[in-house]
Amino acid sequence: MAFGSLRRIERFGWASSKLEQRGRSIVRRLSTFTEVDESKKNSSHQETGKSNKSVNLFSAINQALHIALETDPRSYVFGEDVGFGGVFRCTSGLSDRFGKRRVFNTPLCEQGIVGFAIGLAAMGNRAIAEIQFADYIFPAFDQIVNEAAKFRYRSGNQFNCGGLTIRAPYGAVGHGGHYHSQSPEAFFCHVPGIKVVIPRSPQQAKGLLLSSIRDPNPVVFFEPKWLYRLAVEEVPDKDYMLPLSEAEVIREGSDITLVGWGAQLSIMEQACFDAEKDGISCELIDLKTLIPWDKETVEASVNKTGRLLVSHEAPITGGFGAEIAASIVERCFLRLEAPVARVCGLDTPFPLVFEPHYMPTKNKILDAIKSTVKY
């Protein structure tokens, strides 16, 4: 039961207020952090291709796919319902532009999609496969975990499927229930040989997706579907890439470090604003790439603040937050002034009616910030 559109979301009571919060925060954050323009870092034609338009996240993804297909004739985009533009419109216009042989619908079979993509990638192509929802990636788990991740290693680097990128919308959306809401990133973070990347905004999404597509390793790229329409940001028209495995300090602070990724960052940021009113200075880090992750940036920050809070939508037990907490305790044990706090989803399936209770809300984060600082 796919969501062809999230337009109707405004109609729901709780979802609507929650949603506005997220939307507002994104816009606010973007104005706060315009100076953190990653594209300036690595772009040689920053001056020339200067036209930036405000676009939402699905359009930014769409732009990245256009560029990927345009710049490499050996690139392909495919998946369920991709031909007409995809249920979230990320692939709009691609098959008209690049033809049905490069952009196409597949049969309804995730193991087939990923297996096919691995084969295509193994022949030196860029295979950009879409899984309609991250919740439906599991039939392809074997192909990802046992095949894509080990393709290079098991052949002594004779073969690789580095041209593989798997895109999938993930996360809560206000009314998705069990199977249109999950955040399965931790499963994939347990698999050496693949990279896991999650963008927080349109500009990030475009640059990180292009990097993922062009990275010589298979990448699982989770897109925060709550933000597809909601997050709007100025995105450079041009072809640009943002580095993988580099975290970004998106807000500087001195009392506590907050680490997150994807849609959760905007919630965490609201908590930072509120904490500031109480005189607590929070540093906020977007991890962006979950494996291999940028420990050094987080470590440097925690060495400065002495406190760490990690937050994600996925259930707390066995979530990627646990890995971050353990690593930082190893590296910063003597510097830590409080236990590492984790504000995450509950250890239940993702519930429909109880979504507000399940979620790591702003106030849950704020409470945890306060108690960590007061510890």
Partner 1 sequence: MALWFSRSRNIIAHLVKTKISPINQSLFHAKYISYKLPYELVWELRKEYSSTATGMVFRRFESARAGEVEEAVTYSTSDYDDDDDEINDAENKTIDFPGGSVAFTQQMKFISESPDKRVPCYRVLDDDGYPIAGSTYEQVDKEMAVKMYKSMVTLQIMDNIFYEAQRQGRISFYLTSMGEEAINIATAAALSFDDIILPQYREPGILLWRGFTLQEFANQCFGTKDDYGKGRQMPIHYGSKQHNFFTISSPIATQLPQAAGVAYSLKMDNKEACVVAFTGDGGTSEGDFHAGMNFAAVMEAPVLFICRNNGWAISTPISEQFRSDGVVVKGQAYGIRSIRVDGNDTLAVYSAIRAAREMVVREQKPILVEALTYRVGHHSTSDDSTKYRPLDEIEHWKTARSPLARFRKWVQRNGWWNDEGETELRGTIRKQLLNAIQVAEKSEKPSLVDLFTDVYDNLPLNLHEQEKSLRETIKRHQKDFPSDVPV
Ligand X SMILES: Cc1ncc(C[n+]2csc(CCOP(=O)(O)OP(=O)(O)O)c2C)c(N)n1
Binding partner selected for residue 371 from ligand X, partner 1, none, CB under the kind-specific 5 to 8 Å limit: none
Structure tokens at 17: 């207020």
273 binds partner 1 (CB under 8 A): no
14 binds partner 1 (CB under 8 A): yes
Q: x/- site string to partner 1, residues 222 to 261, per CB under 8 A?
A: ----------------------------------------
178 binds partner 1 (CB under 8 A): yes
CB closer to ligand X, 176 vs 202: 176
Q: Which stretch binds ligand X (CB under 6 A): 27-35, 50-58, 131-139, 301-309?
A: 131-139
Min CB(235)–ligand X separation in Å:
28
Looking at residues 73 to 102 of the shown chain, list those that interact with partner 1 (rule: CB under 8 A): 80-81, 83-85, 87
Among 2, 27, 316, 338, binds ligand X (CB under 6 A): 2
Q: x/- site string to partner 1, residues 293 to 332, per CB under 8 A?
A: -----------------------xx---------------
Q: How many chain residues interact with ligand X (CB under 6 A)?
A: 8
226 binds ligand X (CB under 6 A): no
Among 40, 50, 108, 252, binds ligand X (CB under 6 A): 108
CB closer to partner 1, 156 vs 334: 156
Among 9, 77, 80, 151, binds ligand X (CB under 6 A): 80
78 binds ligand X (CB under 6 A): no
Among 23, 49, 112, 243, binds partner 1 (CB under 8 A): 112
The single-letter code of the amino acid at 308 is: L
CB closer to partner 1, 57 vs 173: 173
CB closer to partner 1, 4 vs 192: 4
Active site residue 175: no
- Alpha carbon distances (Å) from 286 to 5, 39, 204, 346: 27, 16, 11, 22
Catalytic residue among 180, 185, 248, 312: 180
Binding partner selected for residue 238 from ligand X, partner 1, none, CB under the kind-specific 5 to 8 Å limit: none
Min CB(158)–partner 1 separation in Å:
13
Active site residue 180: yes
Long-range CB contact pairs, 35-44, < 8 A, 24+: 36/248, 36/250, 37/203, 38/203, 38/204, 38/207, 38/242, 38/243, 38/248, 39/203, 39/207, 39/236, 39/240, 39/242, 41/243, 42/240, 42/241, 42/242, 42/243, 43/236, 43/238, 43/240
132 binds ligand X (CB under 6 A): yes
Residues that bind partner 1 (CB under 8 A): 1-5, 8, 11-15, 80-81, 83-85, 87, 104-112, 135-136, 138-139, 174-180, 316-317, 346-349, 351-354, 356-358, 361, 363-364, 367
Catalytic sites, residue numbers:
110, 180
**Where does this chain bind ligand X (CB under 6 A)?**
1-2, 80, 108, 110, 132, 136, 139
